[in-house]
Amino acid sequence: MRVTSAVGTPARYVDNGSQSHARGPVISAPAVIAVEDISFLYRDTPVLDGVTFTVEPGEFVALTGPNGSGKSTLLRIILGLLPPAGGSVRLFGSPPGHLHRRARIGYVPQRPSTLELLPATVGDVVAAGRLARRGWWRRPDAADRQAVADALDAVGLTDLRRRRMTELSGGQQQRAFIAKALATTPELLLLDEPTTGVDVESQARFRDTLVSAARDRGAAVLLVSHELGAVAADLDRLLVLRRGQIMFDDPPAKLTAAGVSLGVHPHDLPLWLEGLE
């Protein structure tokens, strides 16, 4: 059985509601992420083949798939950190390298750089997330301090803000890097396995924060993860990457209605992916 759907999103139109002027429809803003026919090779071995999808403002989208399916590679291509072998990526309508305001993006890599751990405190790391938006030459203001406080609270690290990063557990360090991305108050959040090693209570806080970013602030969220149980009910769409291609692009309810558990762990995930041909 092939479980797939059309990935392209038709152009949307906005009616300005004006009664006094006879005007035609106005085309809405471009997709936050537009991935078109992306391919990638690693030592002549195909990793991605014809990957196409979009993420719109305010959408909460998850990307999942077996280990080695190319999820992290795709994320790096979207960010402009890797050049694709073919195809194109646009962020807010522009190629990644032409995006001038990088503060529009909050990114949490799978393995954050250990250089950020020395000798900074948790508060220092989270506050660094404001630099791209504020500019290094400006002093932090009340809005910066509030954004940092909100981000720390969202991941449950308020009481540890003065603790050195090197004194934290791996899970606590990851929560600090999540807070750093949130402090940017980005229009796009890209997260690569962000809750690995994070306790259940903190995952619930994290879910609430992502939902708020999408629903309340209109941010687009692309979450790469094997473990989707904490967010499955809140996702707008689920993308399943397998054999270098998007095999499923639909609301997750279509899978859960068929008895698929999205809270599975990495070792279980390929079992239900076998049905996606």
Question: What value, to the nearest 5°, has the Cα angle with vertex 180 and ends 174 and 182?
Answer: 105
Specify if 2 maps to a domain: no
Specify if 4 maps to a domain: no
How do residues 214-249 score in pLDDT, each as one tens digit? 888 889 999 998 778 778 889 999 999 988 999 899
Residue ranges of the chain with pLDDT lower than 70? 1-28, 111-118, 135-137, 197-198, 261, 263-277
Specify if 86 maps to a domain: yes
| pLDDT of the residue at 205 | 76
Specify if 141 maps to a domain: yes
Domain of residue 165, residue span: 24-273
Specify if 1 maps to a domain: no
| pLDDT of the residue at 172 | 83
How many domains are there within the chain? 1
Specify if 9 maps to a domain: no
User: Which residues contact residue 135 at a Cβ distance below 8 angstroms, ignoring those fewer than 6 apart?
Assistant: none
| pLDDT of the residue at 17 | 38
Q: Specify the CATH number for the domain of residue 174.
A: 3.40.50.300
Specify if 199 maps to a domain: yes
C-beta separation of 66 from 273 below 8 A:
yes
Task: Write b or e for each residue in 240-272: b if 16 or more Cβ atoms lie within 10 A of its Cβ, otherwise e.
Answer: bbbebbbbbbbebeebeeeebebebeeeebeeb
How do residues 153-168 score in pLDDT, each as one tens digit? 888 899 999 999 888 8
